[in-house]
């Protein structure tokens, strides 16, 4: 028998994890609401929520209870059988998606992540539109995930250059530019795929009315509208979906991140007509919609509804935004609800350095683009926590902004 080598201690420099990330040097071991603790017992105010995932805060009691109950009952059976939760959850997601309109009920395919929800959307569009209309137009700067199809839809060549060839059939146009989009809608185009706000590009917001105009163009050309609400969806921007702000009803919607409040689950919703193009065997997943994740998602959506989380995100978002705009060293704040991109002015330290100093002072934020800090706290964040985060942030910028005319730190 071979003996396994002894595992290395935590302090060892060698890592067994592939180097796709350069994690901050803190080991987080516990969370409660908007707070997390490291292995040394130090507390941090979490204003990034595992990348806009733990929208109800860490270990929300309703989600913990639902998950624990389900864990004692049934974990997994695959999609070869029905279970008690997938259908009710699909109905719930359908209700969320159609909230702003009178569209007929649609259908849902469950996944384990945002990228997979978008892969499902891409395959569904191809299945529905057929080989002659298999082009999808998406936006430059967009982010739709790291799997090859989602990466091909993503409008950031730097993320895909090393992994060519990508699947064919994707065209990119500038985000927010309707004229270029209209010109791109040739006869081979089956769908437009768009984020309401480009989170990963640095919380980039299109001009007002953009989504509504995209919908109009899609209708005019008989093209499907796919909206990626993986980051913006489920109350994050102050509405159940960001597309609801403009009363837009897409043909296909993807959500993930906040759906399980930390349990990995995503969903691709489509209208009844588009959904009907998928036949048994066309697409699949071993885990998607499995009972544990579905239990967490049902509890998350129930809590969001019961606690009026969209409204709370809108009002806390306005408060956070106002406070950040007043911070010396901030040139603009963009975004919606509690998905905010804080644009630093040129005298401020570089954004990654700002994020690092925030961490040192007990505040978790991240830097999605040069010169931008993203804040996406729990949607249940309280007023004094908003104030504390802004105080820490102002402190960090005050340390770094040199108003004497000398060079920044
Ligand atoms: C808009 C959007 N789509 C898709 C994804 C990919 O989601 P996941 O990382 O769960 O695959 C992300 C992740 O950041 C996202 O922001």
CB 280 within 8 A of CB 47: no
At 401, is the pLDDT very low, low, confident or very high (cuts 50, 70, 90)?
A: low
pTM value? 0.95
Contacts for 223 with CB less than 8 Å, ≥ 6 apart: 185, 189, 190, 191, 192, 217
Across the range 337-359, mean pLDDT stands at: 96
CA 82 – ligand 1 centroid, Å? 28
Contacts for 399 with CB less than 8 Å, ≥ 6 apart: 357, 409
Q: CB within 6 Å of ligand 1 — which residues?
A: 51, 113-115, 118, 143-145, 195, 199-200, 228, 230-231, 256
**Residue 102, pLDDT score:** 77
Q: Is the pLDDT of residue 218 over 50?
A: yes
Place of tokens 């860490």: 58
12-24: b (≥16 Cβ within 10 Å) or e: eeeeeeeeeeeee
Q: What SS3 string covers 195-247?
A: CCCECCCCCECCCCCHHHHHHHHHHHHCCEEEEECCCCCCCCCCCCCHHHHHC
> pLDDT, tens digit, for every residue of 6-29?
544 444 578 999 999 999 999 999
What gap in Å lies between CA 339 and CA 334, rounded to an integer?
A: 8
What gap in Å lies between CA 227 and CA 247, rounded to an integer?
A: 13
Contacts for 44 with CB less than 8 Å, ≥ 6 apart: 26, 28, 35, 36, 37, 38, 359, 362, 363, 364
Which atom of ligand 1 sits closest to the CA of residue 115? 11
What gap in Å lies between CA 256 and CA 307, rounded to an integer?
A: 20
**Residue 3, pLDDT score:** 55
**Residue 404, pLDDT score:** 45
**Residue 400, pLDDT score:** 73
What gap in Å lies between CA 105 and CA 364, rounded to an integer?
A: 39
β-bridge mates for residue 334, sequence order:
341
- Better-predicted residue by pLDDT, 300 or 9: 300
What gap in Å lies between CA 167 and CA 150, rounded to an integer?
A: 9
Which atom of ligand 1 sits closest to the CA of residue 200? 16
**Residue 7, pLDDT score:** 47
CA 333 – ligand 1 centroid, Å? 22
**Residue 408, pLDDT score:** 34
Q: Is the pLDDT of residue 407 over 70?
A: no
Nearest alpha-carbon partner for 127 in 145, 105, 109: 109
> pLDDT, tens digit, for every residue of 242-261?
999 999 999 999 999 999 99
At 2, is the pLDDT very low, low, confident or very high (cuts 50, 70, 90)?
A: low
Contacts for 187 with CB less than 8 Å, ≥ 6 apart: 132, 133
Nearest alpha-carbon partner for 121 in 131, 320, 77, 110: 110
At 347, is the pLDDT very low, low, confident or very high (cuts 50, 70, 90)?
A: confident
> pLDDT, tens digit, for every residue of 374-388?
999 999 999 999 999
In testing the pocket of ligand 1, which one of 256, 285, 288, 366 has its CB within 8 Å of the most ligand atoms? 256
Give the catalytic positions in this structure. Answer: 143, 228, 257
3-state secondary structure of 86: helix
**Residue 100, pLDDT score:** 75
What gap in Å lies between CA 164 and CA 332, rounded to an integer?
A: 37
What gap in Å lies between CA 317 and CA 138, rounded to an integer?
A: 28
Structural domains of the chain, ranges and CATH numbers in brackets: 28-60+308-400 (3.90.1150.10), 65-306 (3.40.640.10)
Tell me which H or E stretch contains 253. Answer: strand 252-255
What gap in Å lies between CA 317 and CA 81, rounded to an integer?
A: 42
Q: Is the pLDDT of residue 406 over 70?
A: no
In testing the pocket of ligand 1, which one of 21, 110, 115 has its CB within 8 Å of the most ligand atoms? 115
> pLDDT, tens digit, for every residue of 164-199?
999 999 999 999 999 999 999 999 999 999 999 999
> pLDDT, tens digit, for every residue of 83-135?
999 999 999 999 999 987 778 999 999 999 999 999 999 999 999 999 999 99
Contacts for 304 with CB less than 8 Å, ≥ 6 apart: 55, 56, 234, 235, 240, 310, 379
């Amino acid at each position: 028998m071979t003996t396994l080598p002894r595992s290395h201690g935590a302090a060892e420099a060698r890592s067994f994890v592939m180097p796709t990330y350069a994690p901050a040097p803190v080991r987080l071991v516990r969370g409660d609401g908007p707070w997390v603790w490291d292995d040394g017992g130090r507390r941090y105010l979490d204003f990034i929520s595992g990348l806009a995932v733990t929208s109800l805060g860490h270990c929300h009691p309703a989600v913990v209870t639902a998950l624990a109950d389900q864990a004692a009952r049934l974990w997994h059976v695959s999609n070869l059988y029905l279970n008690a939760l997938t259908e009710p959850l699909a109905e719930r997601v359908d209700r969320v998606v159609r909230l702003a309109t009178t569209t007929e009920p649609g259908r849902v395919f469950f996944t384990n992540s945002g990228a997979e929800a978008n892969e499902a959307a891409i395959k569904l569009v191809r299945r529905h539109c057929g080989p002659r209309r298999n082009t999808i137009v998406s936006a430059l700067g967009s982010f739709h995930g790291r799997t090859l199809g989602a990466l091909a839809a993503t409008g950031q060549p730097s993320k895909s250059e090393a992994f060519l060839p990508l699947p064919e059939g994707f065209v990119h146009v500038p985000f927010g530019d309707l004229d270029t989009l209209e010109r791109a809608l040739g006869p081979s185009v089956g769908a437009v795929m768009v984020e309401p706000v480009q989170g990963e590009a640095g919380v980039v917001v299109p001009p007002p009315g953009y989504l509504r105009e995209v919908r109009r163009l899609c209708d005019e050309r008989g093209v499907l509208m796919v909206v990626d609400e993986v980051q913006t969806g489920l109350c994050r921007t102050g509405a159940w979906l960001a597309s609801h702000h403009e009363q837009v009803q897409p043909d296909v919607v993807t959500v993930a991140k906040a759906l399980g409040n930390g349990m990995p689950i995503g969903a691709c919703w489509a209208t009844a007509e588009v959904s009907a193009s998928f036949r048994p065997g066309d697409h699949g997943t071993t885990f998607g919609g499995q009972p544990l994740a579905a239990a967490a998602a049902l509890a998350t959506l129930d809590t969001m509804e019961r606690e009026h989380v969209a409204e709370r995100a809108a009002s806390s978002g306005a408060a956070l935004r106002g406070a950040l705009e007043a911070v010396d060293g901030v040139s603009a704040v963009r975004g919606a609800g509690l998905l905010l991109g804080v644009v630093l002015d040129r005298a401020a330290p570089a954004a990654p350095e700002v994020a690092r100093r925030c961490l040192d002072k007990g505040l978790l934020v991240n830097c999605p683009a040069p010169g931008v800090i993203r804040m996406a706290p729990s949607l249940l964040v309280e007023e004094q926590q908003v104030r504390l985060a802004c105080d820490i942030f102002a402190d960090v910028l005050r340390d770094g902004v040199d108003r004497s005319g000398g060079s920044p730190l």
